[in-house]
Structure 1
């Protein structure tokens, strides 16, 4: 039991540094509001890392009196975790463990509160069935990945996906159902907020078949600033790392002015015969690729921007080489973020119309899914 009277200044400091939350790792409980009644009252305990008495938990003959009222030795805790570290499991909570908890909590609070007010971002999530898999892109799963660059504008996401859909991407009705739902939800829940100026920045978290992601990019276009996130497998994260460069290589094999295809070979190789199986032998085939295609290579925002520039460059070349009335057939093998970027850089009034194909093993290869007409 502590016998030290903590000075008012240190009481204020520990509340400020902890943001009024329990500093025990994984707890983070608000200590000024009752979870049931929502009434405000103080539920906090100020715990000593090194006890203020030599015979107390983690006590020391020299350090106990020195650190009895030292902010570096104090933690804000809920009743349960205060009892845990001082009575129930003292040996399991040595000084080093508690110091790490305190440091992690206070650094996290500092990082969050360092974000400027203009870094508010609305989380938009979109998911659709991929084969037999139903992805889950929910607010609790993704909201923490905004920091330290942005903070959530609200405590929920704007969800554009179709909940509990039983359709699969091999079903005839899948594409029309998903496209109709995506357009309706975008027009109802997102577009009015963009047009009114309420939304200035979007953090987009999506997991869906590539053609639907391209359509989502078309809908968002450049109306608002968008931070398109990329789900990575190794490590398992939606966070971006340091800026790195990727060399996006463009090539062309021009054989026909009437039929034109663009392969996006970034997650996997696409051989020409797979395109010719769909479009026939007389087809001009363009390609954007990287040296070693893989679905986990996007690590930074710069890679997405660089791909967008390359995509815009290639669309201009194709438009120059072929008639405005030509339809460009897109065969994509690309990561999530780049699929959205394809839609965002495509200009309906200036570029060729697009037919988007999707690889589906159940249907025997690439199949036509979406037709984006130019205006």
Structure 2
């Protein structure tokens, strides 16, 4: 326990830098309000990293007197964490561990409080069963990925998901039910509030079968200012980085012209054209957009997403110039989450050809048509 009086100026600086929260990693408890009674009062403790006495927790004969009142050597803690770091004379936590906790916490507070007041964003979440997997997507799991560019407009998400669905994507009824729910939830929770001017920016977190993600994108369209987030496996994050390295998209057109048109999107995996003609027949014009060595975790930067948006828009225009406007494009996708949403966003409901979206499911023997998106 500290025996050194801390000057008021140093105390105030520590309170500001900590944001009034416990600096022990993983705690972050607010220290000005009782959790039970909700009454305001100061329940913080100021702890020394290097003990203020050489015989105290992590004490040092030389450093203890020098750092006794140093801001760099003080942590703001709750009662429990204060007792935790000093128990058994501090043998369980080293100086370097506590210094790292203090820095992480104060850097986070600095990043959050440095965000411009107009950079708030509403979190939009949507999830649906993928095979036997049901994704987890709560406010707690995704809100951290807004910082430091945005901060949450409210302490909850705008969730468009169908709760507790027992249907699976191998079932025909799954698609009808999910689309109906998605459209209804979007209109009720998003469109009406946007029309009132209550929503300025969206941060989109979605995890669902690709056809549903494209459908979501068509609802968002380019009317909403938004950031589409991508689940990256390595490193484990929802944030795309700022790498400006370009990805080359290769467009392969058909050799002949038939009445049936398909789009092969081979980005996260390779789809061979014979898998498409097995469904649509041999008299089918297949356009392909792909990259060198497709794999499922290649999308990592914002530039990759922006470049795809341009490439798919140009490809839609190219196809539209060759075929009747009411000819549907049969889309066979192997693509990242964010690009599926972006594909839907760039599709223009009044000008582009209808989209027939297919889903690959081994339980159904391959690709089957899941959703039709038609011109409005």
In the alignment, is the contact (CA less than 8 A) between 1:21 and 1:30 conserved in 2?
yes
Q: Does 1:332 align with 2:333?
A: yes
Within 1, Cα distance between the matches of 2:172 and 2:121?
37
Shift of 1:89: 5.4
Q: How far has the Cα of 1:70 moved from its partner? A: 1.4
- 1:175-210 per-position Cα deviation (integer Å, ceiling 9, x unaligned): 110000000000000111222221111111111011
User: Structure 1 residues 172, 94: CA separation in 2 closer, same or farther (over 3 Å shift)?
Assistant: closer
For structure 1, list consecutive stretches of 5 or more residues without a partner in the other structure.
Answer: none
Q: Which residue of the partner structure matches residue 62 of structure 1? A: 62
Alignment of 1:107-256 (within 5 A): 107-243=107-243, 244-256=245-257
Partner SS for 1:87: helix
- Residues 297/37 of structure 1: CA separation in 2 closer, same or farther (3 Å cut): same
Counterparts of 1:305 and 1:168, CA distance in 2: 32
1:28 shift after superposition: 0.9
Deviation at 1:367, TM superposition (A): 0.8
1:287-341 Cα offsets, whole Å, 9 max, x none, are 1001111111110111111101000000000011111121111111111111101
Does 1:305 find its partner at 2:306?
yes
Count of aligned residue pairs for this structure pair: 375
CA deviations over 1:32-64 (Å, ceiling 9, x no partner): 111111111111111111222232222233322
Q: Give the SS at the match of 1:98.
A: helix
Residues 94, 170 of structure 1: alpha-carbon distance in 2 compared, 3 angstrom cutoff:
closer
- For 1:302 and 1:37, locate their aligned partners in 2 and report how far apart those are by CA, in whole Å: 49
Q: Is contact 2:258-2:283 (8 Å) kept?
A: no
TM-score normalised per structure 2: 0.97
Assess, with a 3 A threshold, how the Cα gap between structure 1 residues 329 and 90 changes in structure 2: closer, same or farther: same
Q: Secondary structure at the match of 1:47?
A: strand
Q: CA RMSD in A?
A: 1.3
Contact 2:123 2:157 in 1 (8 A): yes
Give the secondary structure class of the aligned counterpart of 1:253. Answer: coil
| Structure 2 CA distance for aligned equivalents of residues 312 and 95 of structure 1 | 55
Q: Are the aligned partners of 1:240 and 1:301 in contact in 2 as well (CA < 8 Å)?
A: yes
Mapped to 2, the partners of 1:373 and 1:122 lie a distance apart of: 28
* Inter-partner Cα distance in structure 2 for 1:198 and 1:88: 53
Structure 2 counterpart of 1:84: 84
Rounded Cα–Cα distance in structure 1 between residues aligned with 2:30 and 2:88: 22
Task: Determine helix, strand or coil for the equivalent of 2:317.
Answer: helix
**Contact 1:255–1:282 under 8 Å retained in 2:** no
Distance in 1 (CA, whole Å) between partners of 2:57 and 2:329 is 72
Structure 2: runs of 5 or more not aligned? none
* Counterpart position of 2:320: 319
Taking structure 1 as the reference length, what is the TM-score of the superposition? 0.97
Please state whether the residue corresponding to 2:198 is helix, strand or coil: coil
- What is the rounded CA distance, in whole Å, between the counterparts of 1:198 and 1:213 in structure 2? 24
What is the correspondence of 1:15-94 to structure 2 with a 5 Å cutoff? 15-88=15-88, 90-94=90-94
| Local SS of the residue matching 1:250 | strand
CA distance in 2, matches of 1:15, 1:293: 50
- The answer (yes or no) to whether the contact 2:330–2:355 under 8 Å persists in 1 is yes
1:87–1:328 Cα change, 3 Å = closer
Partner of 1:264: 265
Structure-2 separation of matches of 1:364 and 1:260: 22
- Displacement of 1:126 in angstroms is 0.4
Report which stretch shifted further, 5-14 or 78-87: 78-87
